[in-house]
Structures are given as C-alpha cells and as structure tokens.
Amino acid sequence: MESVYLEATFISYLVARLSRDLLVAAHQQVTQDRWANRRGEFENYISQVVIDEASAGDPAEVQKRLAIIGGLPTLQMTEDVEALTQAIVAAGTLPPNALDDAAHVAVAAVHAINYLLTWNCKHLANAQIARRIGWCVRNWGIGCPLSVRPKNSWEDSVMWEDPIVAEVHRTREKLAAEYGFGSKKGTHLINLEDAPNNSPNH
C-alpha cells in the first residue's frame, strides 16, 4: 500500500467552517470527499510539524483538527530530517521563513513517503519549486515525495473533480444543447482546462 503525508493545510481544509469564497469552498468539499472515500487506500502519516501547526489558532478549530490527526501515526523528526530541512532552505529553494514547509518535505522524504498531500500552492504544490526541492532531496541520495493537491490525479484513478468546474461544464452542455452552440462548423466552445489558471494560492 502506498503512503501519504498529510500536510497541515489538508487538515485545515478538511475540518474548517465552510468558506464564503466559492473556490475555497469547492476545495474544502474535494478535501472532505477525498478523506471520506479514499483514506483507506493509503497509509496516512503526519509529523510533529503538522501537530504544531494544527495546534495553533482558534481553540474550537484546533480541537477539530487534533481530533482528525489524533489517531494517525507520527513520523519521527530525526537528525537526518533536521539536516535535510536546513539543506532545502540553504539551497535557496524555499525562503528562511518557510522552514516548516521544508520540514514537511524533509520528514516525508527521509521516511520514504510516496505522496505529500497539501493545499499549500505557494511552496509545496508548486511545480517549479517542487522540481527544485526534488533536485535538492535527490542530491542526498533519497527519493522525494510527490507533492499533490487532493484534486490531482496522482495514481491510476479518476481525477478528483472540482465542483465549480463540474457546474461550469454542466451549464455549458445545457446551453449547447438548447441553443446549438458548437454544433455548426466554425463554432467553438471555450475549453476551461486550456484557460490560464488564475486561482489564488492558498
């Protein structure tokens, strides 16, 4: 069975009050669906860094986050983890104020975890930064976990569907059927997946 490291933003999205931001709310729903339907397919792990981050903030939200992670196995913050964390930051792949983000990667890598599940698109689920982090980790002679968001298709299965995108597709198909959009030669419908992604980072 493959393994997944649950970074703190995943836990936050899982239990937080529903956001008024439609995109964030959709991501919360995706996160909840993933936890409800898929967690049994993987070995799920956290670390002390996740516990520390989950323990900060509003006491009611902290209680909900700790209830989720309380029964999960915790990866040890070994000397190798600490050294790799410092190496990732020293290499300039992450800024000094992102030490915890580097630690998430380091602990998952040292313990040979397959995937790092996160909504941190600024530093972790960021293709350019993830590539540079991967080089740094592999220079240590170990593999780097694949950083993915819950809606990514990171194994041979159906891609997680964003509810907002799904609604856009349903509306588009309804209008196409009603008014004949795209049925004549030379007419085109916008392919949402080909449009630039202007979603804000979280």
Quickly list DSSP for 38-98. Answer: HGGGSEEEEEHHHHHHHTSS-HHHHHHHHHHHTTS-EE---HHHHHHHHHHHHTTSS-GGG
What are the pLDDT digits (tens) for 33-43?
Answer: 999 999 899 99
Domain ranges of the chain: 3-148, 163-194
To which residue do tokens 């349903």 refer?
A: 170
Please check the confidence at residue 193 and state whether its pLDDT lies above 50. no
User: Which DSSP string do the residues of 104-115 spell out, in sequence order?
Assistant: HHHHHHHTT-SE
What are the pLDDT digits (tens) for 110-161?
Answer: 999 999 999 988 888 888 888 899 999 999 999 999 888 887 544 443 333 4
DSSP 163: H
pLDDT computed for residue 181 by the predictor:
47
- Alpha carbons 89 and 148: distance in angstroms, whole number: 20
| Annotation: CATH topology of 3-148 | Rossmann fold (3.40.50)
Give this prediction's pTM: 0.73
Other C-beta atoms within 10 Å of 200: how many? 9
pLDDT computed for residue 170 by the predictor:
54
Among 5-14, 66-75, 94-103, 123-132, which stretch is predicted with the lowest mean pLDDT?
123-132
